[in-house]
Amino acid sequence: TRLPDYMVPAHFMFLAQMPLTPNGKLDRKGLPQPEEAQSQGVWVEPVTALQQQVAAIWADVLGVERVGLADHFFELGGHSLLAMQVISRLRQLLEREVALRTLFEQPQLEGFVLALQALDATPLAPPMRALARDRALPLSYAQERQWFLWQLEPDSAAYHVPTALRLSGQLDRPALQRSFDALLARHETLRTVFVSEGERTVQRVLPESALLLDYARLEDTSPEQLQARVEAEIAKPFDLRQGPLLRVTLLQLSELEHVLVVVQHHIVSDGWSMQVMVDELVQLYAAFSQGQSASLPLMTLQYADYAVWQRDWMEAGEKQRQMTYWRDLLGGEQPVLELPLDHPRPVVQSYRGARLDIGLEADVVAALKALAQREGVTLFMLLLASFQTLLHRYSGQSDIRVGVPIANRNRVETERLIGFFVNTQVLKADIDGQMTFAQLLQQAKRRALDAQAHQDLPFEQLVEALQPERSLSLNPLFQVMSNHQSEARVPRGEQLPGLRVEGLEWDSHTAHFDLSLDTQESAEGLWASLSYATDLFEAATVARLAQHWQNLLAAVASDARQPIAALALLDSAEQQRLLHQWNAGGAAAPVQQGVHRLFEAQVRQRPDAIALCLGDQSISYAELNRQANRLAHHLIGQGIGPEVLVGVAVERSFDMVVSLLAVLKAGGAYVPLDPQYPRERLLHMLEDSGVRL
């Protein structure tokens, strides 16, 4: 016989014993309720002490009521950041080193516990200890770099860490003031300044004091004026020697509407720290506004303790171990990503930028998440591989290097500290157009997990070790960034007594890199944006690149087994425009004439018309032709003629166009050489091409 469908259980749960009432009957209310995420599987109760301990850690980190032996960490909502929190708690529990890779290789609880039992007893790093404040406190490695950058540009806002909160309702200003004062007392970094003592710089913690809250009432509360005021507050410079390095401004829009602008300098904060501060601010205000005492966990360590621990641990041998990995992966020639730019790269970066928000279709996002689960990767790894693919297709380069910020909070002691922990990793992709996207995805997974195992080496020390050719016009080791966040950084709508708190969005006008892809994942969906250097790119170019990325994501979601070279970047409308509309001209091009002959014909027709513009300078067709002819005669005198190759290494300028035309007029062919390439690469290109001049 066969049960009808409506009688077939939708969910199975295995218990060590059934809950009973005092009368020995089944206690139906005591039966566990299946989690929604577990509703398609079988729940098996953890039995051993270690299984129960690990299950409790998973449940706490994932925010679910219970976890069974058959449950899959990533199917329950896990991602790389939460996985790292699980690992840090297990290190503390087991008192041994646990690799992040273990959780990716065994994502089901039962298999993961078995893998933990089989681990070697690798000793942990030494514990962090609270130090006496009777001596000078050194800077962390990351703080040293920030101090150097601030000395170069003390008025720059490029390294400010801001957030803005919209407060709707009856605001208790004394409770808000008291909340910030409590934060300053709780976190030393919020009252730390930096001073030079001889040849070194140290951090000095100032005594506890009240924070000055700037207050302003806005007469014009239009969105444009509000954004302008928020941006102005963010742009105000800090003096790292005087402090405070936390600035708070309360903007009143009406009696029941305020905007709180909070800005910290990067030398004492990062994105995670800002979230810690906002979380604690909300808890403190909720208590103080009700006349209650706040009960936050006791702070046993501070950032300065971490800075000393970091130096001691790295110098004891860990630095060499991690440096060896990065040298092997990234050593040798340091390529510069050659994206097609709209403007010449300036000699010095201005950090002027803009941001383009990208709308991702819900069905594509769902398909990408399903693909990530099938391939055993996180959504971050998939999005990173897609971005690397796009950069490969745009540049034609096989060695693609993308910078990725990491929280660097891989120890329980650092999770609730405010300070500059974030580090930058360089994730390299070796791409062959014939490899499939699925193959690249597995490579991205391996590289990301390897990088996590070597995440403590400060980026600044890696730059010093690899010694790339330094230039103020671009970033060393990588020029593009990918940043994925799995949760919102500010409250999306937290309700407090009489007050609603929401994050306020504003347009960013800063770009630290040529191009940055920012993605944010939450239960509601996936958001993306591209930040770009306006010195290099026009808005239309970035919009086209963003559309190509979306097309690529759709192609990957449809079939990840396609060769990378075959993934469609163009949609049907753009294909129609490129292949048909733009090739439907009625006049046939004079194919028998060279470019220089066509140019000379234009000179005869419009000698005084502007041929070239660069900044506020311009040159006519006639003048350009005269300069090209003069150089062509010189080249002919040097023996340049048909079948002769001439190397041209000139920055984008009038001289570059003059040089190219002159070589063609002399009968030769030019070999373009980028002056920014390393000397060894240029020598190889010259030798390989056989140029005569």
Show Cβ contacts of residue 639 under 8 Å, excluding neighbours closer than 6 positions.
692, 693
Mean pLDDT of 608-620: 82
Class in CATH terms, 331-571: alpha beta
Fold of 595-689: Rossmann fold (3.40.50)
pTM score, whole prediction: 0.75
Going by CATH, does the domain composed of 137-288 fall within 3.40.630.40? no
Q: Where are the beta strands (DSSP E) in 563-626?
A: 610-614, 617-620
Decide if 389 contacts 439 (C-beta within 8 A): no
Structural domain spans, the chain: 5-117, 137-288, 331-571, 595-689
> 322: number of CA atoms within 13 Å, CB side?
19
pLDDT at 22: 66
For 6-53, the pLDDT digits (tens) are 344 555 566 667 777 766 667 766 676 655 444 445 778 999 999 999
Plot region of 657 (φ>0 → left; ψ -120 to 50 → alpha; else → beta):
alpha
Decide if 175 contacts 288 (C-beta within 8 A): yes
Read off the tokens for 32: 């566990």
DSSP state of 112: H
> Are the folds of 5-117 and 331-571 the same?
no
14, β-bridge pairs: 44
Q: Tell me which residue of 361, 377, 358 sits closest to 369, measured CA to CA.
A: 377
For 131-183, the pLDDT digits (tens) are 988 888 999 999 999 999 999 999 999 899 999 999 999 999 999 999 999 99
591 pLDDT higher than 80: no
Show Cβ contacts of residue 20 under 8 Å, excluding neighbours closer than 6 positions.
26, 27, 30
* CATH code, 5-117: 1.10.1200.10
Count of C-beta atoms within a 10 Å radius of residue 15? 11
Task: Give the distance, in angstroms, between the CA of residue 150 and the centroid of all CA atoms in the same chain.
Answer: 22
Which DSSP string corresponds to 386-447? HHHHHHHHHH--SEEEEEEEE----SGGGTT--S---EEEEEEEE--TTSBHHHHHHHHHHH
> 219: number of CA atoms within 13 Å, CB side?
0
What distance in Å separates the CA atoms of residue 426 and residue 368, rounded to the nearest whole number? 24
What distance in Å separates the CA atoms of residue 473 and residue 439, rounded to the nearest whole number? 34
Q: Tell me which residue of 85, 102, 42, 30 sits closest to 67, measured CA to CA.
A: 42
Residue 1 pLDDT grade (very low, low, confident, very high; cuts 50, 70, 90): very low
Give the whole-number percent of the chain exceeding pLDDT 90. 61
490 pLDDT higher than 50: no
pLDDT at 39: 45
**Phi, psi angles (nearest 5°) of residue 160:** -95, 145
Show Cβ contacts of residue 120 under 8 Å, excluding neighbours closer than 6 positions.
96
